Structure 1
Amino acid sequence: MKLTKILGFTALAVLAFGQARAQVEVTSGELRLGHERFLDDVVVNGDEEVLSRTSLEGALEIGIGYSGLGAQFDLGLDRAGLLDDTGVNATVHGLYSLPDGVTLGVFAGHDGFGSLDSTHYGIEGAFDTGLISGEGYLMGLADDVSGSAFGIQGGYRVLPSLQVGARLDRANLDDGADASRFGLTADYDVTESFSIGAELGVADGDLPGIGSADEGYIGVQATVGFGDKGGSSFDRRGLLDILPGF
């Protein structure tokens, strides 16, 4: 119900404002398929288990006339290797595009995984000069998992079709639990609309209902983009995005 209210109220507000000001149209989006896993198995109840996460994510962005205002709608499905369950992530972003490739935004959304529910909200910003790109956010967490989180990532295009970079995410939760990840990233443009990426890093966390881990991880992702930007303005948000595997 909380997720339905967030999505419904935000969509109605964007559409109503757009009809009052200008025409609303789909401008860009992307579809992503990825898999992440910890490099070493963990021992659970005497057995070695793999902490992994397979994700199918989609993002759709709309523009409101020529005002620079818009919205981005994200939906993701996560399949956990250890817990053998599927989680859902949904987020709505309100965004404002400035000159020179700068975008500012606010967001609200919900993560649901089994009996665990987490609502997230916050502010964000991104820029892309063509050679250098970056993105950052500040996020609050509520419901079953409450606290705060932040993240920053950036990339440098070393070749016309190759970008390398890094990301850092950190969540501090009210009950003393926490989660963090630091990774080095690389993305290769196979075509104008299709790219593949890889990430290698270290993650640690201790979350209620999920468990704890402190290991290196690896991830791969394939992305298909379309529209004016060939993708979305902002990356996925939420607690599940900070966890490479569970």
Structure 2
Amino acid sequence: MNRLSVLAFVAALAATPALAEMTGASLDFGHSFFTEDSGIAKTSLGGSAEFAFSPMIGVQGDLGLAKLREIDDTATAFALHGLFYVNQQTALGVFYGVDDLDGDNVDFYGFEVGQRSDTFEVEAYVGRTESSGLTGSMMGVEGRLQTMGSFGVGGKVQHVDMEGIDATRFGVTGDYSLPNGFALTAELGAVNSDDLGLDGTEPYIGIGARFDFGMNRGTSFSRRSILGVAPGL
């Protein structure tokens, strides 16, 4: 499936909102920085909303805004997901999105699969990137396990390989959730890259907050973005 067919599919779903019911949404705020140079930092704000057209078909939309401290610029991200619900816990999807930084756009599209229950969440994706006629690849997997009480732990691995960026991010995550859907989040990890102003493997720290609401308390998938691989720029 190429970029145009992915975009046509998710756009066709998004074009009929009157037939859809919102099943969940999420808002998030985060700040991340490299431990060896806290000036290389990123502050982000974003959200996602999911709508179901039937017990089997749905759509998810993502919006994000990131302030990149090192280069003193602001990036935006937008993505649409076309969803197929295998059952109440498992979803398959295709996605298409655009990241914009200082007028330069990167298109990305691909496939994803996710599973959620009361005690765990896991998702994986693989996709392609396109920018100025050049193509690249992106992939990732992340998961979360509910532990005692309101605490959750998890991990993630993300990789992007495109013109000007070849980076792998891996991190350990933790969160404390309240019954109303509000959660405080933290992440400790590292990015391996010789691009992005880095030299080899650099550790980072991330802190943030998230609010999940709606019938399903959140969305089937996390937000998609190329810049999500980089904790700070």
Do they superpose with TM above 0.5?
yes
Distance 2:104 2:77 in 1: 12
- How far did 1:139 drift? 1.4
Q: Read off the aligned partner of 1:29 and give its amino acid letter.
A: A
Q: Is the 8 Å Cα contact of residues 10 and 95 (structure 2) preserved in structure 1?
A: no
- How far did 1:75 drift? 0.3
Is 1:133 matched with 2:121? yes
- How far did 1:150 drift? 0.9
Matches within 5 A, 1:1-246: 13-15=12-14, 23-41=19-37, 50-66=39-55, 68-144=56-132, 146-173=135-162, 175=163, 177-207=165-195, 210-213=196-199, 214-246=201-233
Q: Is the 8 Å Cα contact of residues 179 and 203 (structure 1) preserved in structure 2?
A: yes
- How far did 1:12 drift? 5.0
Q: Read off the aligned partner of 2:41 and give its amino acid letter.
A: S
- How far did 1:159 drift? 1.5
CA 1:11–1:97 in structure 2 vs 1: closer, same or farther (change >3 Å)?
closer
What is the aligned-residue identity percentage?
33
In terms of mean alpha carbon deviation, does 164-173 or 118-127 score higher?
A: 164-173
Instruction: Provide the secondary structure at the position in 2 that maps to 1:181.
Output: strand
CA 1:244–1:128 in structure 2 vs 1: closer, same or farther (change >3 Å)?
same
Please give the per-residue CA displacement for 1:219-243, whole angstroms capped at 9, x wherever unaligned: 0121111111111111111210101
Report the aligned-residue RMSD.
2.4
Unaligned stretches of 5+ residues in structure 2 = none
- How far did 1:149 drift? 1.4
Distance 2:151 2:118 in 1: 12
Q: Flag the structure with larger Rg.
A: 1
Distance 1:132 1:106 in 2: 22
- How far did 1:155 drift? 1.6
Distance 2:104 2:10 in 1: 25
Distance 2:175 2:82 in 1: 26
- How far did 1:81 drift? 0.8
Instruction: Provide the secondary structure at the position in 1 that maps to 2:198.
Output: strand
TM-score (norm. length: structure 1): 0.84
Distance 2:44 2:60 in 1: 19
Q: Is the 8 Å Cα contact of residues 118 and 146 (structure 1) preserved in structure 2?
A: no
Please give the per-residue CA displacement for 1:170-212, whole angstroms capped at 9, x wherever unaligned: 1122x474011110001110233111110000113344xx533
Q: Is the 8 Å Cα contact of residues 199 and 219 (structure 1) preserved in structure 2?
A: yes
Q: Read off the aligned partner of 2:106 and give its amino acid letter.
A: S
- How far did 1:89 drift? 0.4
CA 1:78–1:101 in structure 2 vs 1: closer, same or farther (change >3 Å)?
same
- How far did 1:60 drift? 1.1
Unaligned stretches of 5+ residues in structure 1 = 42-48
Distance 1:136 1:241 in 2: 14
